[in-house]
Structure 1
Amino acid sequence: MHGTLSRPDDTPRGGRAARLPLVLRLALREMRSGLRGFGIFLGCIALGVAAIAGVSSLSSALTEGMAREGRTILGGDLAYSLLQREATPAERDLLAGYGEISTIATLRGMAHADENGSALVEIKAVGPDYPVIGEIATTPQAPIGELLAERDGVFGAVADPVLLSRLDLETGDEIRIGTSRFEIRAALQSEPDKVAEGIGFGPRLLMTVPALRESGLIQPGSLVRWTYRIALPGGAGDDALLARVEEAIHEAAPEAGWRVRSRLNADPQFQRNIERFAQFLTLVGLTALIVGGVGVANAVRGFVDRKRDSIATLKGLGAPGGQVVGIYLTQVMTIAGLGILAGLAIGAAIPFAAAFLLRDVLPIPIAPVLAWSQLGIAALYGGLIALAFAILPLGRVHDIEVTHLFRDQIDRDRRWPRKRYIAVALAAAGALIALSLGAAYEPRVASIFIVAIAIAFVLLRLVAAGLMALARRLPRPRRAGPRLALANIHRPGALTPSLVLSLGLGVTLLVTIALIDANMRRQLTENLPQNAPSFFFVDIPSAEVEAFQSFMRDAAPDGTLERVPMMRGRIVSLGGVPAEEIDAPEDVNWVLQGDRGITYAQDPPEGSRIVEGAWWGDTPDENLVSFDAEIAEGLGIGLGDSIVVNVLGRNIEARIANLREIEWRSMGINFVMVFSPNTFAGAPHMHLATLTFGDEEDRAREPALMRDIGQAFPTITSVRVRDALEAVSNLVGQLAIAIRGASSVAVAASVLVLAGALAAGHRARLYDAVVLKTLGATRSRLLGAYALEYGALGLVTAIFGLIAGGLAAWVIVTRIMQLEFVFVWEGALGAAVLAVGVTISLGLLGTWRILSQKPASYLRNL
């Protein structure tokens, strides 16, 4: 026996086993006894892999669904949108030359029910052939042309059930939109192109285009979006034809100011949101997997502890350390493979389950498929985590002497594993980082996450080491229970590092989520500025401005009314660079997407401060613009640079004269771009106004005032700020529920790891319990000692979680969300108290079985 474990007759006659390497053969033979002790290991790996595989598979299913149903979602093969103006006859003829055209007009308006008040609605005016592609569902079901047709001078309308509930209406009731009356003839259940229209602040109301024209809502400068959808003949699957048509239309009308979408990207913003949210959930799943890695390390340590006799026997028979490590690494990775397979099976099933359970809930179709590449990435994550966390505990076995294996239970060998095992662990960690960055939608976010996890690991190890050092130096209590608890914290083989690490990550995550959620809700509801407006008034015609201001002076004499002209424009170029070629950071890129509100002013607007340059004089000789300073920095532009915006189909060029610092949180009227008055001289436009009340008594009159404005000015859209915030708050609430649900996976992994850490220390605790019970210790005294130990660990970890979670939430809220941060104690303390309770409960549950052991049966086997 020199350097390898073998025997002359070890090769059976025939059979597949004869062809297997010795290490694999021995590993498989040992695994015949089952997977006892690897439940936590399997759970940690399967949970993390299932989370990553499920999220990525569901994201692929949503993306595939949008790609397959892009024509239905868009309502055609191509969609050309214009804001504030209709297509000219020449432009319409140009589009019609390539296929069948359908026209859609969308805008916000007010629905007035005579006795039941008013409500903001998202109006969608359609043609009699709507929808050209897809199906619309109404109650009662009938052709849309019949439901919306004019009967006895009254147009029909189809309303979202939310509007019916809000205004206490039923089918057959009448409402007033602008200067026209409409009969509600059906409730809208679903529309095929809902996603393409984006998220609205009010319920949907369908009417015909002629009815919209009769309502008086369409006036020069009204914020109406006209969309012309083209259904190409035979173009449903011809991507090359789609590209040729899009290019030809662009060349024929380069300055039309279209917003162009195709069935291949029916809703780019929604697609980006899916990818961003998928990345967030993937990072949460990776957090669960990394936390589970601690459970893997605990399980492997427990596995080595249970296999002590087998390891000693193998090494006593001459097996080299590398071969012993290979045998047990094979077993561990084989078991990890089983966990990965279980996680992949669960993750692959998630999109199919979602397609079945959420088919009537989600506004987009789910096309469940087996996303093999995504499943492969999830499997790779699981394998790398298992290897990175398992190799170091196994590597210690290489150099442990045979005699030391038997006394290692109470005298732990603290030597580092050989360099080869450290190198393998570092290589696995490096591959994990590379995979995380390579698979990320936003590598910058992924890199921040990786750095944060690394810092958390280091800090938690330092906390554990500091706690053990402190416990070692504290004076010994006179009572046996506290003395035993203190000794358990710092003794060799203590559970302190594992418990602090697993619980610390879970508590930090809980506190971070609780604080982000609380700050977002506080910003939306509780933390409104003292001078926040009560109303926004949109689409005030220039001809009615004086009458509107006079009415408001009489109806709300104590309110402060502010009014500015408003148009919509799309940035075409900045500094001579086309907008589509500008690679801007994510936090400012929104300015380049779609149309932006713009205005002109003679004086600097309130709520902003000029930080660079100077305001224009009374009669500037050229078109000038004032730009938001922070966004200008992100876009890489400054004083003197040119900007081209498309307004009402015309490209307008202006020079940046000054940069402003804007206080957006005041919720007052302000714009990224404010132009000099000469820029838009004579251009048709509407006005935007805000009304601000000074005290709660005036605010109580808001509903009545809203009704009076609707009667006096039916074409003006009134938006209560609190109603809009409530709609946003509902969206935030739904998002928060999804985030909490996803994060619960990481928390569940923390609980699993906590249980695994306790299970890994089972043998040492059993040894202690037997010795102490033999010396006369009672079960209640031992339970008290363990409760003190787990309580101390939970308390320290909770304090760390409060600090680290608070810091993480502060960075996210202030740096990423650009909001004011307040440490909301309720949710954070709730998470911390929960952590202490879980630690003590799991700890005592885990030791109850140990304390139930009879000393005699154990002592006979010593």
Structure 2
Amino acid sequence: MKASSASAQSLRLAFRFALREMRGGLKGFFIFITCIALGVGAIGGVNSVARAITSSVASQGQTLLGADMRFNLMQREASDKELAFLKAQGDLAVSAGMRSMARLEDGSDQTLVEVKAVDGAYPLYGSLATQPALSHDDLFGERNGIWGAAAPDLLFDQLKLSDGARIRLGGATFELRARIVDEPDLVSEGFGFAPRLMVSMDGLRASGLIQPGSLVEHGYKLKLPAGATEADIKVISDRAKTDFPQAGWSIRSRANAAPSLSSNVERFSQFLTLVGLTALVVGGVGVANAVRAHLDAKRGVIATLKSVGASGGFVFSVYLVQVMIVAAIGILIGLGIAIAMPFAASAALSSVIPVPAEGGVYPDALVMAVVFGVLVTLAFAVLPLGRARDIPATALFRELGLEGRGLPRLPYLLAAGGIAVLLAGLAIWFSSDRLIALIFVGAAVFAFIVLRSVAELVQWLARRAPAVRSTPLRLAIGNIHRPGALTPSVVLSLGLGLTLLVTLALIDGNLRRQIAGNLPERAPNFFFVDIQPADVDRFSTLVSQASPEGTLTKVPMLRGRVIELNGVDVQKIEVPPEGQWVLRGDRGITYSETVPENATLSAGQWWPKDYSGEPLVSFSAEEAGEIGLKIGDTVTVNVLGRNVTARIANLRQVEWESMGINFVMVFSPNAFAGAPHAWLATLLDRKASAAEEARILNEVTRAFPGVTTVRVKDALDIVNRLIGQLGVAIRAAAAVALIASVLVLAGALAAGNRARVHDAVVLKMLGATRGTLIGAFSLEYMLIGLATAVFALLAGGVAAWFVVARIMTLPSSFLPEVAVGTVLFALLLTVGIGLAGTWRILGQKAAPVLREL
């Protein structure tokens, strides 16, 4: 009891001493506070914004989905029994969606559009805002054989149309009577490659685009009676599956209105959280530098305390309290940033994400940021505090600083290691994808070890460098390896930030090169969708005449959804994230008697011609491995309201990067005997110019208005723009880590200022000029920056190669312009900040410094 009382009294006394010593202000802790505030603000802010968007999606689920429940059917409409079941549950709105070609009345121009047909009950929730505002009948009704339509500004701009202009869709004429200002359920429809064209259900039927096998998605939206709960929704969903086991409909509720958006926000927030944690860890180096510099400045105070009987533990407690008070200031500033970010994001993201982020305070995100901030501070402050605790008073009076005294005692090493392990464990635990978080944490630890080794190597080489005649260069080499050198701090802080930037820049550059150069060279010129079986021969003849040197490839195509694997519902199967896309939503499928030309068998045998046994399927080898399928397993797909179970007969390697006709599943022809379907075709003509492509597109659209034609280069342009926007966002996030690196670099220079002052004064007393000292410092920073840039190029190049070549399975190449830019950036950064930090040192008077020696 007495021991605990004495400990409490000692702690109170340490707290009083810490506060008394801090009366002079926070001089020297600016970098410390900024690093902690930056990391905490990034982590708390990113997660707060993510939670704001998620909360907004949840609270506006009815409006975003346009219903309480939505039932989707691919390539078929609901049967009479299914329709009666849906109508019995509440108010029903029917819609349909498909891609098609909208063309001018004279046929001189056309463009791909995302057609959405709605009935008079649309929308069940929210409101369709148009300019001018019109009723459903006025907006979409028929007038003298002309149907009404609405579209966003993008379609008007692409076809150079004015209000009231007429276009052709399929075999019908539509008048653009209004511009779409706000479509309430747009976000739940998923990403579209083309502008929206909204028409009525009757207008779409009049166009003749709905044919057997056409790729049309029919939607049935329910508005349930007031007071319906999530339990009621589950009951209806279960009944729908039980009463109609082969319906094959995809069911979504208001609680899951925009799963793609929620998933993407979650993944991106995880990435930004890890980047913020990287910035915080990099800032931890700045914490260590600031603590070391602070203790060095308090050398006399520590010696005095120890001389009058203060224990090492008391000294440790005093300065730990100071460090945590300073950390608390940084954390509070970071929390202020984090709290403000959702409010700022609600305005900034309105043009990017069609869901307003609700401003508010999200305690769980803020607590997580605080925990990370405290743990990083402790992990990096314990070692310098432990070193100061164990240094005797005589050494502190006699020596200049705290460097070169070896490692602190084992308890401090264990404490720092334990805190670091806890920090890594929490980072993995809080992540939605723990495998990615584990890889990220492992890479960060590996980078720390390697960067420390690089710093040791640079110092080792400097120690063994041959003597040079140049005085500035000789001084620079000596500064690199002397006790208390800046080399470890600079290499560690700058290396992490530059490596991250190089990796992202190389990935972005390779993707752009593929999309702008290599992919278009290998990809077909056009995809043709929804070719009716009766038109296949006539279509082939027209395309062959329009492009005599082109190669036309065509295959039958249906849409199906995987519902069972080996008899087990896919919703009950745990599938790795990389394979989930195969089981999510409808997939394009086909059948064939022979092995597709762009694929090779990797296991199993292809079925013989005229095969008539049980349905068989060929599965893509890569996706089968990700899902856990092998030869002999069964796959059940729902196609046109019918469940078809097929056994995997073989696995094949698919060249997805060719952008040709590829399918995850290719069935034996007998699996879909008699099923209505359309055909998919591609045209590859490497010699076709842009003008010739436009002519081919025009001829096909005129002759076959129901065929959807997708020009691959246009799609690649859209993807390229998206990658560009994503790249800017990712590099902006990575810049947070680089800013932390710059701050740590400045902090490292500030921590070494005391030693630099003595060096400069002594050298000036020995005859060194200001120019000599500037040259020496410049060469020192340049050599360290060059070594760091070389490491960043090597590490970033390997990381980018792994992502591009192994994960994305695309050709990867090293981009020299990135290398040169990184080297120049590193040199400018280190030399510029280094000289800015040491310029004041060169003007120090000699007498005050010499009196302290």
TM-score, normalization by structure 1: 0.96
The corresponding residue for 1:11 is none
Contact 1:77-1:235 within 8 A present in 2 as well: no
Contact 1:507-1:832 within 8 A present in 2 as well: no
Structure 1 pair 391/411, CA: closer, same or farther in 2 (3 Å)? closer
Shift of 1:360: 4.8
The corresponding residue for 1:122 is 114
Shift of 1:646: 0.3
C-alpha distance in structure 2 between counterparts of 1:643 and 1:248, whole Å: 24
The one-character-per-residue Cα deviations of 1:332-356 (angstroms, maximum 9, x if unpaired) are 0111011011101101110111113
The corresponding residue for 1:375 is 366
State yes or no: 1:616 paired with 2:607: yes
Contact 1:116-1:167 within 8 A present in 2 as well: no
C-alpha distance in structure 1 between counterparts of 2:65 and 2:57, whole Å: 10
The one-character-per-residue Cα deviations of 1:450-495 (angstroms, maximum 9, x if unpaired) are 1101111011111111111111111222222111111100001101
Structure 1: give runs of 5+ residues left out of the alignment.
Answer: 7-16
Instruction: Output the amino acid matched with 1:843.
Output: G
Which is further off, 188-197 or 248-257? 248-257
Match of 2:682 among 680, 685, 690: 690
Residue correspondence of structure 1 range 30-49 to structure 2 within 5 A: 30-49=21-40
Instruction: Output the amino acid matched with 1:156.
Output: G
State yes or no: 1:272 paired with 2:272: no
The corresponding residue for 2:272 is 281
Shift of 1:256: 0.6
Contact 2:543-2:696 within 8 A present in 1 as well: no
Instruction: Output the amino acid matched with 1:176.
Output: R
Shift of 1:745: 0.5
C-alpha distance in structure 2 between counterparts of 1:729 and 1:479, whole Å: 51
The one-character-per-residue Cα deviations of 1:836-857 (angstroms, maximum 9, x if unpaired) are 1101100011111111222234
Residue aligned with 1:841, SS:
helix
The one-character-per-residue Cα deviations of 1:197-243 (angstroms, maximum 9, x if unpaired) are 0001101111111000001110001100001011111146x222222
Match of 1:230 among 212, 216, 222: 222
The one-character-per-residue Cα deviations of 1:623-664 (angstroms, maximum 9, x if unpaired) are 111111121122222222221110000001111111111111
Match of 1:412 among 400, 403, 424: 403
Give the fraction of aligned pairs with identical amino acids, expressed as a percent.
Answer: 52
Shift of 1:698: 4.4
Contact 2:760-2:842 within 8 A present in 1 as well: yes
Instruction: Output the amino acid matched with 1:596.
Output: R
The corresponding residue for 1:100 is 91
The corresponding residue for 1:806 is 797
C-alpha distance in structure 1 between counterparts of 2:589 and 2:299, whole Å: 75
Structure 1 pair 765/20, CA: closer, same or farther in 2 (3 Å)? closer
The corresponding residue for 1:252 is 243
Residue correspondence of structure 1 range 618-767 to structure 2 within 5 A: 618-620=609-611, 621-695=613-687, 697-767=688-758
Contact 2:520-2:713 within 8 A present in 1 as well: no
C-alpha distance in structure 1 between counterparts of 2:126 and 2:342, whole Å: 23
Contact 2:559-2:588 within 8 A present in 1 as well: yes
Contact 1:221-1:684 within 8 A present in 2 as well: yes
Which is further off, 621-630 or 293-302? 621-630
C-alpha distance in structure 1 between counterparts of 2:757 and 2:314, whole Å: 31
Instruction: Output the amino acid matched with 2:627.
Output: L
Contact 2:388-2:402 within 8 A present in 1 as well: no
The one-character-per-residue Cα deviations of 1:664-721 (angstroms, maximum 9, x if unpaired) are 11111121111111111111000000000032x4454101211111111111000000
Shift of 1:152: 2.0
Instruction: Output the amino acid matched with 2:595.
Output: P
Contact 2:94-2:118 within 8 A present in 1 as well: yes
Contact 2:591-2:669 within 8 A present in 1 as well: yes
Shift of 1:530: 4.0
C-alpha distance in structure 2 between counterparts of 1:245 and 1:463, whole Å: 63
Contact 1:69-1:365 within 8 A present in 2 as well: no
Structure 1 pair 185/550, CA: closer, same or farther in 2 (3 Å)? same
The corresponding residue for 2:331 is 340
Contact 2:404-2:483 within 8 A present in 1 as well: no
The corresponding residue for 1:555 is 546
The corresponding residue for 2:416 is 425
Which is further off, 787-796 or 670-679? 670-679
Match of 2:152 among 160, 165, 170: 160
State yes or no: 1:544 paired with 2:535: yes
The corresponding residue for 2:166 is 174
C-alpha distance in structure 2 between counterparts of 1:770 and 1:19, whole Å: 42
C-alpha distance in structure 1 between counterparts of 2:108 and 2:49, whole Å: 43
Structure 1 pair 408/118, CA: closer, same or farther in 2 (3 Å)? farther
Residue correspondence of structure 1 range 122-521 to structure 2 within 5 A: 122-235=114-227, 238-409=229-400, 412-521=403-512
The one-character-per-residue Cα deviations of 1:560-608 (angstroms, maximum 9, x if unpaired) are 0000000000011112222112212111121111110000111111110
State yes or no: 1:795 paired with 2:786: yes
Contact 1:291-1:753 within 8 A present in 2 as well: yes
Structure 1 pair 144/373, CA: closer, same or farther in 2 (3 Å)? same
The one-character-per-residue Cα deviations of 1:128-168 (angstroms, maximum 9, x if unpaired) are 23222112222223334422222221111111211111111
Q: Over the residues paired in the alignment, what is the CA RMSD in angstroms? A: 1.7
C-alpha distance in structure 2 between counterparts of 1:20 and 1:313, whole Å: 19
Residue aligned with 1:474, SS:
coil
State yes or no: 1:774 paired with 2:765: yes
Match of 2:41 among 26, 34, 50: 50
Instruction: Output the amino acid matched with 1:135.
Output: S
TM-score, normalization by structure 2: 0.97
Instruction: Output the amino acid matched with 1:349.
Output: A
Which is further off, 816-825 or 788-797? 816-825
State yes or no: 1:81 paired with 2:72: yes
C-alpha distance in structure 2 between counterparts of 1:140 and 1:116, whole Å: 28
Contact 2:528-2:680 within 8 A present in 1 as well: yes
Residue aligned with 1:527, SS:
helix
Shift of 1:823: 1.2
Match of 2:53 among 55, 59, 62: 62
Instruction: Output the amino acid matched with 1:234.
Output: A
Contact 1:235-1:242 within 8 A present in 2 as well: no
Contact 1:515-1:809 within 8 A present in 2 as well: yes
Shift of 1:618: 1.8
Instruction: Output the amino acid matched with 1:167.
Output: L
C-alpha distance in structure 2 between counterparts of 1:328 and 1:478, whole Å: 45
The one-character-per-residue Cα deviations of 1:105-131 (angstroms, maximum 9, x if unpaired) are 110010112365111111111112322
Residue aligned with 1:669, SS:
coil
Instruction: Output the amino acid matched with 1:465.
Output: E
Which is further off, 408-417 or 179-188? 408-417
Contact 1:693-1:699 within 8 A present in 2 as well: no
C-alpha distance in structure 1 between counterparts of 2:401 and 2:576, whole Å: 56
C-alpha distance in structure 1 between counterparts of 2:9 and 2:594, whole Å: 90
Structure 2: give runs of 5+ residues left out of the alignment.
Answer: none
Instruction: Output the amino acid matched with 1:319.
Output: A
Shift of 1:64: 0.3
C-alpha distance in structure 1 between counterparts of 2:107 and 2:78, whole Å: 39
